[in-house]
């Protein structure tokens, strides 16, 4: 029987919009788009792509920690970027630093805007907890 485990930061947006940060079903964890916010749910670094990317990766690590997983267990990711061409080099550098030699499946989408004013990046991903850490 599959188990379901829902992860929440308990920030207002979760209840206002009606979503979970992550939901585990069996061995897979599906993670909603992560962005640059602090533990109180306050959006950080409007307009600063590099700082937002760094905070987004830190928030991804919080979810991995919750599920006892590591970056090596991320099997896919989707990155949503405002100003794709302008932020491509920083994205590639950040991605290589975050994953090291691990190579998850990856999709990068250039978009016009994200949910919050000044938000430039959002990353959703899937974790397979059965893979070796």
What sections of 31-102 are H helices per DSSP? Answer: 49-66, 84-99
Instruction: Please tell me the predicted confidence (pLDDT) of residue 94.
Output: 97
Q: What is the pLDDT along the chain (133 residues), one digit of tens a residue?
A: 556 789 998 888 888 999 999 999 999 999 999 999 998 889 999 999 999 999 999 999 999 999 999 999 999 999 999 999 999 999 999 999 999 999 999 999 999 999 999 999 999 999 999 999 9
pLDDT of residue 2: 58
Instruction: Give pTM, 2 decimals.
Output: 0.95
Q: Any idea what DSSP says for residue 13?
A: H
Residue 45, pLDDT score = 98
Q: Are the C-beta atoms of 53 and 98 separated by less than 8 Å?
A: no
Q: How many residues does the chain have?
A: 133
- pLDDT of 41: 85
* Structural contact between residues 16 and 81, judged by C-beta atoms closer than 8 angstroms: no
The pLDDT score that the predictor gives to residue 39 is 83
CA dist 38 to 3, 77, 93, 98, Å? 29, 21, 23, 19
The pLDDT, as a whole number, for residue 91 is 97
Domain spans of the chain, in order of start: 4-128
Name the superfamily (CATH) of residues 4-128. Answer: RutC-like (3.30.1330.40)
Structure tokens at 109: 């989408």
């Amino acid at each position: 029987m599959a188990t379901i485990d829902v992860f929440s930061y308990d920030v207002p947006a979760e209840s206002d919009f009606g979503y979970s940060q992550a939901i585990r079903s069996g061995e897979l964890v599906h993670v909603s788009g992560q962005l640059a916010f602090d533990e109180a749910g306050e959006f950080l670094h409007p307009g600063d792509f590099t700082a937002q990317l760094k905070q987004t990766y830190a928030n991804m690590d919080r979810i991995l920690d919750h599920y006892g997983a590591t970056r090596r267990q991320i099997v896919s990711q989707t990155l949503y970027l405002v100003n794709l061409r302008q932020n491509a080099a920083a994205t590639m550098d950040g991605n290589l630093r975050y994953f090291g030699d691990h190579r998850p499946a990856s999709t990068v989408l250039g978009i016009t805007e994200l949910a919050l004013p000044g938000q430039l990046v959002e990353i959703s991903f899937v974790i397979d907890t059965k893979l070796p850490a």
